Structure 1
Amino acid sequence: MKLLLHACCGPCSLEPVRVLREEGVEPAILFANSNIHPREEYDHRLATLREWAATEGVSVAEGRYDVRDWDKTAGAIGSAALAKALMRVARKEVAGATGAAGPAEAGREAAGAAGPAEGTAAATKAEAAAETEREAAALATLDPRLRAALAVDPDARAARCRACYRLRFEEAARYAVEHGFDAIGTTLSVSPYQYTDVIEEELDRAAARHGLDSVFRDFRPYYDEATRRSREAGMYRQNFCGCRLSDTEAQAERQLRKAMRAAERAAHAAERQAQEAKRAEKRAERQAYQDKQQRKHAILKAMRKQMKDQVKEENREDERL
């Protein structure tokens, strides 16, 4: 079987090529990714793939790079979904706060009113509510466009990715027919962040339309090994899927994590300050108690001395008499 393997990048190609070779299949790679943005990123990924492939004796061909095709299909779906999410974010900002007790306050009230067992469960709920509150506060620090990227409807995001897969697999299938391949496959399924079922459906669809066999493998179990190998090899590892929309989503997720960490540090700092204040209060109470005891001891000592002095004086008086 002559297999054309669609590849998204070098790191994601490591394990699929190894596994296929162990199965007795020698794949040729096609880099067909009009979704990748910007051009510099596209060139960087392709160069990384070619450098690795040369060391492994794997052939690499480059497909068409036409971002206009992507913008008219997957890009249009994604942009529409982002615009809707941005409107929802804007409406929420205009609506403002309702004035009702927030989840964290509600959790604290429940914890205070419940019995021991119920109180533990309520405290856990209060902690979860506090975490939700911190996330909401962290989200509020993000630019509205980044907040909207995180609020995109999941079904719309899946539809965008489906259109993206379809565009790239169609390109791979056309190339396969033109160059005498029997089947097409893809490295996209190595990533746990992709829609694996949709990838399989679209790969099968493209292969069937062009009279090819579909060689789908779920490579997700090899993701950790691919990560390890690519890092050890010093390969360029991108931090977003490829398109401009996934770039925005990745930026939003990174900034949210950063803001959440800052909020958590602030919360822990407030907790530490409260604990230190309690310890200081305890120290002050202990010191006050010690001071009180010292004063009592001093008074008793003075009284005992006075009594001794008085007895001595009385004894001297008796002697004189």
Structure 2
Amino acid sequence: MKMDSNNKLVREKLSLPKSGKRLLLHSCCAPCAGEVMEALIASDIDFTIYFYNPNIHPRKEYDIRKEENIRFAEKHNIPFIDADYDVDHWFDLAKGMENEPEKGIRCTMCFDMRFEKTAEYAAAHGFDVISSSLGISRWKNMEQINDCGVRAASRHPEMEYWTLNWRKKGGSARMLEISKREKFYMQEYCGCAYSLRDTNKWRMANGRDKIELGIKYYGDEE
């Protein structure tokens, strides 16, 4: 970030890698995507949101996260692709991984599944760059995410996965600021059924109530 003459932060203009023209941004949710989207808008980058997250469980949680993302995309006139909720396929792929820890092989499978579908759509619709908002979360392993993204893009000639670290240069702080400003829904677990199970197990062991879906929003505590 740079400072202007009034001592205010000014965003640095971003450019797509390798002279890319159009970006398909996989989005996991509005809180993670908000800062990424505003950075892309400020850089005049042509992009579309691709929402494909069959891992999110239950359906109530999935619908809330999706609608929040649609709301923010519509506010900025950003095209939004609502992909299938093929949750049965996700559970089939997760068989045998039910007790794997967060950031383990189940998460790799989940990223691979979502990025492969993103890359397939991008290749069929004239996008030459893909990326994801997943990497901005401090709860995620960025190297793991980027490896999955690069692998998915490599299956399509002339496609690039953008490995930009969205957390740097104030990205993580702005992510929280935007979430509070927009009063986004506050997610209390990663998204899948096993994440919800393990988070609730931890909460109960530490004297906290189980997660109640659909009730917490950023800014409510202020």
Shift in Å at residue 11 of structure 1?
1.1
Tell me if the contact between 1:7 and 1:32 (Cα under 8 Å) persists in the aligned partners.
Answer: yes
**Superposition deviation, residue 66 in structure 1:** 0.6
**Cα deviations across residues 105-124 of structure 1 (Å, max 9, x unaligned)?**
xxxxxxxxxxxxxxxxxxxx
2:139 corresponds to: 193
- Alpha-carbon distance between aligned partners in 1 of 2:182 and 2:50, rounded to the nearest angstrom: 22
Counterpart among 63, 81, 87 of residue 43 in structure 1: 63
Whether the aligned pair in 2 keeps the contact of 1:50 and 1:60 (CA below 8 Å) is yes
Provide TM-score, normalisation by structure 1. Answer: 0.55
Q: Which has the larger radius of gyration?
A: 1
CA displacement at 1:55 relative to structure 2: 0.8
Counterparts of residues 119-268 of structure 1 (less than 5 Å): 157-211=103-157, 212-221=159-168, 222-258=171-207
Q: What is the match of residue 28 of structure 2?
A: 8
Q: Distance in 2 between matches of 1:26 and 1:250?
A: 37
Q: Distance in 2 between matches of 1:229 and 1:216?
A: 22
Q: Which segments of 5 or more consecutive residues in structure 2 lack a partner in the other structure?
A: 1-20, 209-222
CA RMSD, aligned part only?
1.7
Conservation of the 8 A alpha-carbon contact between 1:48 and 1:235: yes
1: distance between equivalents of 2:71 and 2:42? 22
Aligned mate of 2:73, from 30, 42, 53: 53
> Secondary structure at 2:154's aligned position in 1?
helix
Q: 1:42-101 CA distances to partner (integer Å, 9 max, x unpaired)?
A: 11111111111111111111112111221122x22431xx2xxxxxxxxxxxxxxxxxxx
For residues 182 and 43 of structure 2, the distance between their equivalents in structure 1, rounded to whole angstroms, comes to 24
* AA in 2 matched with 1:22: A
Higher relative strand content: 2
Query: Gaps (5+ residues) in structure 1?
Result: 83-151, 260-321
Q: Which residue of 1 aligns with 2:87?
A: 67
Is the CA contact (8 Å cut-off) linking 1:11 and 1:235 kept in structure 2?
yes
Cα distance in structure 2, aligned partners of 1:217 and 1:255: 37
Pair 1:26 & 2:49 matched: no
Q: Residues 159 and 53 (structure 1 numbering): CA distance in 2 closer, same or farther, change over 3 Å? A: same
The residue aligned with 2:213 is: none
Q: CA deviation at 1:214?
A: 1.1
Q: Give the whole-Å Cα distance in 1 for the aligned partners of 2:197 and 2:79.
A: 33
**Deviation, structure 1 residue 246:** 0.8
Q: CA–CA distance in 1 between the matches of 2:88 and 2:124?
A: 23
Q: Which structure has greater helix proportion?
A: 1
How far apart are residue 17 of structure 1 and its match? 1.3
Letter in 1 for 2:82: E
Runs of 4+ residues deviating >6 angstroms: none
Q: Which amino acid aligns with 2:145?
A: I
Q: Which amino acid aligns with 1:59?
A: P
Deviation string, structure 1 residues 137-161 (Cα, Å, up to 9, x no partner): xxxxxxxxxxxxxxx557xx51110
Deviation larger for 1-10 or 13-22: 13-22
Does residue 76 (structure 1) correspond to residue 95 (structure 2)? The answer is yes
Deviations 1:263-318 (A, max 9, x none): xxxxxxxxxxxxxxxxxxxxxxxxxxxxxxxxxxxxxxxxxxxxxxxxxxxxxxxx
- Conserved? CA contact 1:63–1:171, under 8 Å: no
Identical aligned residues as a percent: 31
Q: Which amino acid aligns with 2:197?
A: T
